[in-house]
Amino acid sequence: MKRNLLLESSQNTQCEKVVITGMGIISSIGKDLAEFEESLKAGRSGIGILNSSNKPSQSNIGASVSDFSFETKVKSHLQPEYNELLKGALNLGKRAPVSVKCSIASAVEAWIMARLHEKQVYGRRTGIIIAGSNLSCGYQYGLYKDFVDAPEYLSPTYAMYFMDTDHLAAVSQLLGIHGEGYTTGGASASGNVGIINGYRLIKNGIVDVCVVIGAMADLSPMEIQGFINIGALGGKKYWSKPESACRPFDIEHEGFIYGQAAACLVLESYNSALIRDVPVLAEIMGGAIVIDGNRKPDPNEEGEAAAMRHAIESAGLQKEDIDYINAHGSASPLGDSTEVGAIKSVFKECLSNIYVNSTKSLTGHCLFSAGVVEAVSTIIQLRGGFIHPNLNLDNPISTDICFAGRESINKESNIGMSNSFGFGGINSSIIIKKGV
């Protein structure tokens, strides 16, 4: 592969702006960005029965990527002359767990969009972050029975594949990434934690490009049952009507609905994007993580508000500058009302200028990848000049917040905020600006 290295190494010099030059996605409502955008506009939900061979039940509702063809997706993003990249992707993904396949596929889409296959940056100036943890639960669970019967027959690849870092290893090998790399855990806030770390790597001049992948949460029946037993999972009332089960901010909200997705953002220093002469999709202006010091899964209004305020401050902005919020909006009754309280306390008199929606009403709660999926959703809406609907928002829990309705509307927004709050008191918020 021809490497056209345009950038001189610029070690550790502060960079002015961190921008987005590539995006990729695989989700229940879109196998690529175009399909994802179409679904956001149309208000199409990906939530249905997870396993058609099991009877309908609370544990069998979710938004799955079960009909995802790894080979088809990778081929669709790579022109024939990029045969090496295609072969590499197919080989790395061939026997890998589904979550790794999704990471590879979404990374390829984003890398190509950022034109890094043609106008590459030095390997040592490119970083990679895998946002998410406990990514191999479903994979491990699927092997367990055979393992108990005959441990000797466990594939040696298990020793590589069970670790979250396998995503980093596979994608970095494929794309020739030799800068800094690691995984970031933040429960449901993992995605934002990953983006914020990528932003910091670039801001501090450690890398010029950073691939941030929100990795798919491959849950086993144990995690699903755990969420049911702790009361966090929705579908208590609407278990037989999956399309009505995910109800962020609605009075009938009753918990989150599991969603599968992987998403990738290519973060880049603005300088590097200028030199490479590639389109800039958005700017990450800032972000913040605030910990509650709380072992339990309950949310905290002060912590959430602090994350939003710190994010605005880190972006060098005022609350008046925000005109769109992509809420965490998990449809947890306590979570939704806490977030409403936090948004009200931060934005006060500005509330009527800010549309609020929750992408989770369409994609389900993608858990570890949610922050990256929702950043992609935010950027698509900012660029497309629309606000996607809040599905199933029949009776909002608050009339003080300007919630998006049940259909898309045309609206030019400039600066969006995206929130993600995780079990264990992890609050995060990022600020995204349209274009530069």
Partner 1 sequence: MDKNEIFNIVKRSIMEIVPDIDEKDICPEISMKDLGANSVDRMDIIIQSMKELEIKVPMVEFGNLKNIQGVVDLLYEKKLTFGK
Binding site for partner 1 (CB under 8 A): 87, 91, 94-95, 150, 152-157, 160
d(Cα 89, Cα 310) in Å, to the nearest integer? 39
CB of 68 to partner 1, least distance (A): 21
Q: Provide CB contacts within 8 A for 82, sequence distance 6+.
A: 1, 117
d(Cα 387, Cα 416) in Å, to the nearest integer? 11
CB of 98 to partner 1, least distance (A): 17
**3-state DSSP percent of the chain in helix, strand and coil, to 5:** 40, 20, 40
CB of 153 to partner 1, least distance (A): 4
CB of 142 to partner 1, least distance (A): 16
434 touches 414 (CB < 8 A): yes
Residue closest to 406 by CA, chosen among 418, 423, 391, 421: 391
Query: Of the two residues 83 and 395, which places its CB atom closer to partner 1 in the complex?
Result: 83
CB of 3 to partner 1, least distance (A): 22
Structure tokens at 248: 């962020």
β-partners of residue 432 are 284, 416
Query: Of the two residues 40 and 175, which places its CB atom closer to partner 1 in the complex?
Result: 175
Q: Which amino acid belongs to residue 137?
A: C
Query: Of the two residues 96 and 266, which places its CB atom closer to partner 1 in the complex?
Result: 96
Query: Of the two residues 89 and 257, which places its CB atom closer to partner 1 in the complex?
Result: 89
Query: Of the two residues 95 and 406, which places its CB atom closer to partner 1 in the complex?
Result: 95
Place of tokens 């399309």: 243
Query: Of the two residues 72 and 157, which places its CB atom closer to partner 1 in the complex?
Result: 157
DSSP state of 415: E
Query: Of the two residues 16 and 152, which places its CB atom closer to partner 1 in the complex?
Result: 152
By CB neighbour count within 10 A (0-12 exposed, 13-18 middle, 19+ buried), where does 11 fall? exposed
Query: Of the two residues 89 and 331, which places its CB atom closer to partner 1 in the complex?
Result: 89
CB of 84 to partner 1, least distance (A): 11
Structure tokens at 160: 């590589």
CB of 262 to partner 1, least distance (A): 23
d(Cα 315, Cα 414) in Å, to the nearest integer? 14
CB of 138 to partner 1, least distance (A): 21
DSSP state of 436: -
Query: Of the two residues 145 and 348, which places its CB atom closer to partner 1 in the complex?
Result: 145
CB of 72 to partner 1, least distance (A): 19
β-partners of residue 265 are 23, 212
102 touches 131 (CB < 8 A): no
Using alpha carbons, list the distances in angstroms from residue 29 to 32, 39, 40, 294. 9, 6, 8, 34
> What DSSP string runs through 39-89?
HHHHT---EEES-TTSPP-GGGEEE--TT--HHHHHHHHS-GGGHHHHHHH
58: number of Cβ within 10 Å? 21
CB of 169 to partner 1, least distance (A): 12
Query: Of the two residues 154 and 436, which places its CB atom closer to partner 1 in the complex?
Result: 154
What CA dihedral angle connects 145, 103, 26 and 338, to 10 degrees? 90
